[in-house]
Amino acid sequence: MSTNQLYAYDLTSSEPGASTTRVLRGRSLGPLVPDAKSIDCRAMCVGPTGDVWAAVTIASPLGISLAHLVSYHPGDEKPRDRGPISIRNPNYTDFTDQAGKPLPAHGGIFKTPGGITTTRHVLLGVCQSHDGSVYILALQPYTVLKIGSEALK
């Protein structure tokens, strides 16, 4: 999805008189990330509490993509951009070999000028567990990122 909007559709409605053509009417719930110039959303789910979660990448002033987590609780006025995804343990794996050369397919993790360690590539999946934690699948290096429920309050 490349549109910076979250949409809601009523999958239970039946349009009267729509015998051959079915129309699924939707409505915008608002932008995923306010003021984002471009967005890439390949990861979206509905968690066990009915909340919508989206892991997106947006174009940033740094000239690269930045990963963000977005949530929406039914009834809220609009989606909530929870900001850039920050990796707390940036040394979770080696990114270079013993000679200091970058390892293949490990170039996705970087540190912003503000000190946030995050991923610059598209996010492949997102899900919420029953304890409220959200898990995101990052592409490079192939990594499952966990955002604990305590950080999402």
Q: DSSP class of residue 151?
A: G
The CA distance from 149 to 71, in Å, is 13
Question: How do residues 11-57 score in pLDDT, each as one tens digit?
Answer: 777 666 555 566 777 899 999 999 898 899 899 999 999 999 999 99
The CA distance from 96 to 99, in Å, is 8
The CA distance from 59 to 18, in Å, is 41
Taking alpha carbons only, the member of 46, 49, 84, 48 closest to residue 65 is: 84
> Domain limits of the chain?
6-152
Q: pTM higher than 0.95 for the full model?
A: no
Question: How do residues 90-145 score in pLDDT, each as one tens digit?
Answer: 999 999 999 999 999 998 998 888 888 999 888 999 999 999 999 999 999 999 99
